[in-house]
Chain A
Amino acid sequence: MPSKTTKTSVLLKSSQMFKLILMQLSGLFRKSLNVIMAILAAAVVGSILMLIVGRNPFVVYRLLFQNAFGSERALFITMQRATPLIFTAISSSIAFRTGVFNVGVEGQFFIGAIAGTFVGYAFQLPMILHLPLSLLAGFLGGAAWAYIPTLMRQKLGISEIITTIMTNYIATFLISWLTNYPMRETPLVAETPIVQNTARIPQFVNLNPNLAKGTQAHLGIFIALAVVIITWYIFKYTKLGYQWRMVGLSALFSEFGGINMDKTFIGGMLVSGGIAGLGGVVEILGVWRRYKDLFATGFGFKGNLASLLGGQSIIGSTIAAIFYGGLEAGALGLEWSTGIPRQLIDIVVGLIIFFMAAQGMWSFLNKLKLKNGKPGEGMMAFVKRMFTPKRKEETL
């Protein structure tokens, strides 16, 4: 009977579908469980810190949350803090996925920023040309700055970590020179001229004075989100994205499979650098409007951390960047109202990263437990093993 079979197959299919969805969900849950556990553990350690300092952790956390997400103004501040972090987080995620540690996001961010600033103040163009051109300059600047370390890694096999750290410093000094000598506007302060009106990314306040009063949130967030969507699409649905992922998973295998390593790898790194540079120029055109020497530091490294927090995926690291931005905004408000140093937040994020790494800790303890054959004594065994010197004679 055909009708019966079709019915059962439909049933089967739906149950399979259900199972599949459940599996997907549980996989997602398991993936994020680690992060959630890490955040909880960091929150606990953070509260202990606050108790030592003599504050009520519940009050502090409530204030933190209120200042990050509790009001319209807080949301806009969070948005402003998160915008550059989204760029740098995506940038480091792309590098991670192609199997590189781009510690140079920091330098690429600044080079992009100064390149975009130059185009922003030096040319007189209509806005429809000027703004995209400035953004493009930022992207190209960042990509160019990523090019040399990438080449050294791909052609000569030199660790990109050392070279990108070196180029970070070269970038810092180069920009200090630029802002102090050739691009300097006034003899008083080391800063460039202000960018033209046509190159500025409008802030929400400029559009509607009632919308984001007292914040510097700007429309750059939409550029950031566009970058997120484009990179997500590339990774998920295009051949290029597939190649990037494969190269990141196993360079040898993908070379064997016929992927042009040079093209793919270098391309991935250049895009990573370019997005970092784009983040720099968006930050300048949206918030600062001119390049002050040493205007900010740490966006690159924080982006690296956000990417790690988000599991090195595009969507994950975007969420993590917004979370980080929110924490920063909350911490700013907290410092303002209670005098607790805003550095507390970087400590908490550091703790989260440490506890995420502790993923290995649990399995490490479990392994110990199995070895000794006494369940539940993993911790004790671990402590004992730490403090008892090993004897070589026994193993021989």
Chain B
Amino acid sequence: MDTSVLVDILQRYVFNVANLQGMLRLSTPVILAGLCALITARAGILNIAGEGMILFGAWFAVAGSYYTQNSYVGLAVAILSGLVVGGLFALFSLKFGANIIVMGIAINIFAVSATIFMTRIVFGVAGSFMHPNIQGFSPIHIPLIKDIPILGGILSGYTFPVYLTWLLVLLTTIFLYRTPWGIHLRAVGESPEAARTQGINVERVRFLSVMASGVFASLAGSYLSLGHMVGFFDQMSAGRGFIGMAVNTFGGGEPVGVFLSSLLFGLTDTIGFRLQGERIIPIYFISMLPYFVTLIALTYFTIRKAQVAKAVFKKKAAQAEAER
């Protein structure tokens, strides 16, 4: 394949404004799910309930928007549901000593059936719930930025949660590295015993981190049901909670890493959509790619870490030998 063809393909499928916009849109729920995984992972908790919490968030966002016809009320209701579900999850798994993975699996199954059940009982429909009363988020055009030639098209014209997500990535970074609470959180994640001897309330930090993950997940859910689509569909989270875990691992547990690797996911999604009609390569392989890369990255990082640790150990041993 000569380079001009490659450039042409790249331009057609990757680097054009519509594609990049799609990438940023599709990566939004993934970023939020990634932050949901990140905030608990940094506190030393493996939280697999993100999937279920996203579903609850999506449902309650729709319910809030349906009854008040205001998308922002929907968002608020979703955040509230995230706090409640996250709080209950934390209560059972951290205070009552239930295994957190068990609780995660239970909540995921529970969320799927509970949302289907509630859709049928409250709204009286099965499968999907769409209604003109549900207000979705409307796009916001940022005054100055939208007039910049190409960047304006890429950076402006999204709905509120998209901007909120970008802001949250920034805020999470600041929180983790520039605030005492963030330092406490990281300390708890790295060595709970050491943190405890420093007078940090480990249980409380973990409790709050799980609640925060509930909020991130519900934001992801509300974007899915009020921004990405308008309405609730059964199992509309479609594995994004787990993708969030992959993104967090792949991004090395850093908010910016989560952001960048989510863009990768968003990109594969958009390319998948574009290629669906073209039949160059089955989309399934493109969809599979991020998971595959995560596995490989995990293996590589772990081996690398072990090698570095070994090298440091050897160096120290040599030093000690020389000193003697």
Please list the residues of chain A having a beta carbon within 8 angstroms of any beta carbon in chain B: 53, 101, 103, 148, 152, 156-159, 161-163, 165-170, 173-174, 176-177, 180-181, 298, 301-302, 304-305, 308, 341, 343-347, 349-351, 353-354, 356-361, 363-364, 390, 392
Contacts and interface: CB of A to CB of B under 8 A. Distances in A.
B76 interface: no
Contact of B298 (A158, A349, A350, A360): A158
12 contacts: A148-B295, A152-B299, A156-B302, A158-B302, A162-B246, A169-B239, A173-B291, A177-B285, A181-B282, A305-B106, A341-B117, A353-B102
Nearest to B235: A297
Given A165-B242, A169-B239, A169-B291, 20 more contacts: A148-B295, A156-B299, A158-B302, A161-B48, A162-B249, A166-B246, A166-B294, A166-B295, A167-B291, A169-B242, A177-B285, A305-B106, A308-B102, A341-B121, A343-B114, A344-B117, A353-B103, A354-B106, A354-B110, A363-B97
- The A interface is mostly helix, strand or loop, or mixed, namely helix
Interface string B220-242: 00000000000000000001001
B29 to A, nearest CB: 16
A357 B92 contact: yes
Contacts of A341: 116-117, 120-121, 126
Contacts of B105: 103, 301, 304-305
Given A341-B116, A343-B117, A161 B106 contact: no
Contacts of A353: 102-103, 106
Interface of B: 46, 48, 92-93, 95-99, 101-103, 105-110, 112-114, 116-117, 120-121, 126, 199, 201, 204, 239, 242, 245-246, 249, 282, 284-285, 287-288, 291-292, 294-295, 298-299, 302-303, 306
Contacts of B302: 156-158
B294 A103 contact: no
A170 B288 CA distance: 6
A350 B110 contact: yes
Given A152-B299, A161-B48, A357-B103, A364 B96 contact: yes
B291 to A, nearest CB: 4
A354 B49 CA distance: 13
Contacts of B239: 169
A354 B109 CA distance: 12
Contact of A390 (B116, B201, B284): B201
A357 B96 contact: yes
Given A157-B302, A162-B249, A343 B201 contact: no
A180 B282 contact: yes
Contacts of A158: 298-299, 302
A177 B284 contact: yes
B98 A360 contact: yes
Nearest to B87: A386
A162 B101 contact: no
B289 to A, nearest CB: 9
Contacts of B108: 301
Contacts of A298: 109, 112
A346 B298 contact: no
Contacts of B287: 173
Given A103-B101, A364-B95, A343 B113 contact: yes
B46 A161 contact: yes
Nearest to B52: A350
B98 A347 contact: no
Nearest to A157: B302
In this complex, the member of B113, B285, B294 whose beta carbon has the largest number of chain A beta carbons within 10 angstroms is B113
Nearest to A176: B284
Nearest to B92: A357
A165 B245 contact: yes
Nearest to A382: B95
Given A173-B288, A349-B109, A103 B117 contact: no
- Smallest CB-CB A-B distances: 10 pairs: A357-B98, A350-B110, A360-B97, A346-B113, A343-B113, A177-B284, A360-B96, A353-B106, A173-B288, A173-B284
Contact of B109 (A53, A148, A152, A350): A350
Nearest to A358: B96
A301 B109 CA distance: 8
B288 to A, nearest CB: 4
A386 to B, nearest CB: 9
A287 to B, nearest CB: 22
A180 B282 CA distance: 9
A298 B245 CA distance: 19
Contacts of A359: 96-97
Contacts of A358: 92, 96, 98
